[in-house]
């Protein structure tokens, strides 16, 4: 099935846009607030920060303006232990996104302000990929980078071609964001050729449908003990075979499953299809969610960590990834600021929430 998934200590490189996140405090609506809480975030930066907290050498590649806000952002990334030597400067502005956190039956809402940002105006030829990949073993990207502009999609292809030629393991988060595909091309049209480079792929069911045209199976569990999930496993195995047929190179196909009871009450499970077989987790029932933004990115960082550290144990990889994602739901902000020990503790059933003294 192709080359073995990386199990060395070479660095991981992630590529995408990091933004200033402005969140209304106290679950206020945009129309109510007179202040915002400022943090940083963005899918591929979130993955990189989480990997750094897991002790994986990680470098984040992006393009930022040469100004004080960008330098503050870089300082925040470096504080988490990220390599930032691959960041280039140019363009006029840092991308923004505004978040109105949902509560109970009211959904969260995101407003993007990233058109014309330094990253959105990135072009092929600006980044020296051979230099960046010279000591790397893994490259991670997502569909968001290809959604912003044709030039962004072309830069993704440029990076993928170099990473492939240099023998890196390549992972892709499908990361379909309907609000971002505004430059006249369909997500499936752009993404289908790019995902062919993937050794590892991740997404939620609706994202696989948008990019690959595979209908969802559905995840309807309402409690951690719900047995309905078990009855859908044959259908998920068929789902995995369909993805594998469309992306023959891909060795590991991950799905994170979420059933949202309310904005703050969610149930999570996960699937891995590999080597013509299906692995699945149990169900996490998260009744008092703090912040779900970045939970998928936490899963991705967990699967990368797991594939590097548990290369011969797919079940452990999957459990680690889902536990990392479940913990992210309890942490404010985009970044999953947890340790390997905390993730492994949850994997081992420590859900008491007791004070550690």
* Domain annotation covers residue 1: no
Instruction: Tell me if 357 is assigned to some domain.
Output: no
The answer to whether residue 2 sits within a structural domain is no
Q: Is residue 352 part of a domain?
A: no
CB atoms closer than 10 angstroms to residue 27: 16
**Which CATH number belongs to the domain containing residue 69 in this structure?**
3.40.1190.20
**Residue-number span of the structural domain to which 27 is assigned:** 11-346
Question: How many domains in the chain?
Answer: 1
Q: Is residue 351 part of a domain?
A: no
E-assigned strands of 75-167?
88-89, 96-100, 109-113, 136-142
Q: State the Cα–Cα distance between residues 41 and 334, nearest whole angstrom.
A: 5
**Three-state DSSP string of 294-342:** CHHHHHHHHHHHHHHHCCCCHHHHHHHHHHHHHHHCCCCCCCCCCCHHH
Neighbouring CB atoms inside 10 A of 53's CB total 22
Global pTM reads 0.94
pLDDT in tens, the chain (357 residues): 445 565 567 999 999 999 999 999 999 999 999 999 999 999 999 999 999 999 999 999 999 999 999 999 999 999 999 999 999 999 999 999 999 998 888 899 999 999 999 999 999 999 999 999 999 999 999 999 999 999 999 999 999 999 999 999 999 999 999 999 999 999 999 999 999 999 999 999 999 999 999 999 999 999 999 999 999 999 999 999 999 999 999 999 999 999 999 999 999 999 999 999 999 999 999 998 999 999 999 999 999 999 999 999 999 999 999 999 999 999 999 999 999 999 999 998 876 544 444
342 within some domain? yes
- Cβ neighbours of 21 (radius 10 Å): 22
Within a domain: 3: no
């Amino acid at each position: 099935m192709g080359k073995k998934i990386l199990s060395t200590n070479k660095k991981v490189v992630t590529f995408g846009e990091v933004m200033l996140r402005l969140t209304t405090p106290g679950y206020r609506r945009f129309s109510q607030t007179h202040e915002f809480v400022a943090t940083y975030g963005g899918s591929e930066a979130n993955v990189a920060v989480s990997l750094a907290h897991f002790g994986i050498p990680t470098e984040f590649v992006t393009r930022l303006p040469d100004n004080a806000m960008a330098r503050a952002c870089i300082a925040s990334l470096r504080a988490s232990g990220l390599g930032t030597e691959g960041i280039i400067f140019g363009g006029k502005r840092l991308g923004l996104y505004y978040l109105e956190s949902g509560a109970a039956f009211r959904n969260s809402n995101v407003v993007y302000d990233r058109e014309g940002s330094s990253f959105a105006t990135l072009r092929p030829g600006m980044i020296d990929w051979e230099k960046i990949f010279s000591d790397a073993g893994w490259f991670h990207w997502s569909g968001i980078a290809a959604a912003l502009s044709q030039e962004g999609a072309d830069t993704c292809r440029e990076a993928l071609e170099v990473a492939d030629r240099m023998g890196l393991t390549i992972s892709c988060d499908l990361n379909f964001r309907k609000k971002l595909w505004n430059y006249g091309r369909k997500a499936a049209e752009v993404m289908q050729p790019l995902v062919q480079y993937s050794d590892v792929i991740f997404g939620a069911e609706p994202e696989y449908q948008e990019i690959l045209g595979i209908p969802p199976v559905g995840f309807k569990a309402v409690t951690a003990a719900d047995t309905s999930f078990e009855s859908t496993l044959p259908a998920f195995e068929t789902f995995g075979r369909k993805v594998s047929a469309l992306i023959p190179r891909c060795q590991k196909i991950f799905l994170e499953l979420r059933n949202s009871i309310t904005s703050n009450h969610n149930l999570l499970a996960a699937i891995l299809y590999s080597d013509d077989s299906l692995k699945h987790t149990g169900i996490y029932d998260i009744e008092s969610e703090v912040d779900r933004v970045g939970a998928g990115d936490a899963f991705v960082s967990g699967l990368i960590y797991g594939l590097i550290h548990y290369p011969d144990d797919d079940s452990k990889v999957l459990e680690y990834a889902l536990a990392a994602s479940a913990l992210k739901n309890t942490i404010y902000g985009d970044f999953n600021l947890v340790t390997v020990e905390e993730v492994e503790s949850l994997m081992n059933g420590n859900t008491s929430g007791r004070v550690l003294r």
